[in-house]
Amino acid sequence: MKTSPLTIAAYAATLFALLPNTLAFSTTQTNTASRLSPSRSPQQPHQLKLNMFSGSSLDVEEEEDDEKREQIEKMAKAMGMTVEEYQLGMNARTRMETAINEVRVIGGDPAKGVSVERDGNMPPKHLVVTVTEEGKALGKEKLEKMLVEALKGASEKGKVARDEAQKDMMKYISESMKKMGAM
């Protein structure tokens, strides 16, 4: 069965968009103190890690663990894809996630005393807000306004970077499928 590059791109983009923080299939949930067992203190929350498809085993041929190989084959079959197409989608998702995590955009104006640096995630994993003495000297109202503008500017630039990463992902899928002879 041949799957179109658009289908694989949509699959990878959907996986990316389904969960926050671009952790498509690798999430960590921290339980709050109210849900902790009596043996755990609130300072040591229980971590539940879900790695359904982390993208860590993407090459079936290289995978030595028969169970992981079977899982990849089952997921590909369940989605109506070949193993190679499934792996391509997972690789594309991983590449896009990495690209977005590595983005660094700046909003605001450091020369005026207020700037925000962030990555391309929504919400950001990397966020640095810088207020210098010049920014503090502006007064509360003006500083608040400049902070909001800096955050908005950085968010808009982050969205542009995410869109660019998605375009790069689609280009990668298209080129890879040509090499696979699927197009």
**pLDDT tens per residue across all 183 residues of the chain:** 556 666 666 566 555 554 444 343 333 333 333 333 334 334 433 333 333 344 444 454 555 688 888 999 999 999 999 899 999 999 999 999 999 999 999 999 999 999 999 999 999 999 999 999 999 999 999 999 999 999 999 999 999 999 999 999 999 999 998 888 765
Report the 10 Å Cβ neighbour count for 90: 25
pTM reported for the whole predicted model: 0.63
Residue where the block lists tokens 């990849």? 72
Q: Does residue 170 lie in a domain region?
A: no
Q: Does residue 122 lie in a domain region?
A: no
User: Taking Cα atoms as reference points, which of 3, 5, 17, 1 lies closest to residue 173?
Assistant: 5
Work out the angle between the directed axes of helices 66-78 and 83-102 (0-180°, nearest 10).
100
Residue 137 has what pLDDT?
Answer: 94
Report the 10 Å Cβ neighbour count for 112: 14
Q: Does residue 20 lie in a domain region?
A: yes
Structural domain range at position 61: 5-102
**Torsion angle in degrees (nearest 10) through CA of 60, 65, 67, 68:** -40
Query: Taking the CA atoms of the chain, what radius of gyration do you get in angstroms?
Result: 21
Q: Does residue 160 lie in a domain region?
A: no
Q: Does residue 85 lie in a domain region?
A: yes
Identify the three-state secondary structure at position 68. helix
Q: Does residue 159 lie in a domain region?
A: no
Q: Does residue 121 lie in a domain region?
A: no
Q: Looking at the 3D structure of the chain, how many domains does it have?
A: 1
**Tokens coding 177:** 């499928």
Burial class for 64, CB neighbours closer than 10 Å (0-12, 13-18, 19+) = exposed
Which helix (DSSP H) or strand (DSSP E) does residue 116 occupy? strand 114-118
Residues 6+ apart with CB under 8 A from 73: 60, 83
In contact, 130 and 147? CB cutoff 8 Å: no
**CA dihedral sign, ordered 163, 165, 167, 170:** negative
Q: Does residue 91 lie in a domain region?
A: yes
Identify the three-state secondary structure at position 126. coil
Residue 182 has what pLDDT?
Answer: 63
Residue where the block lists tokens 């197409």? 85
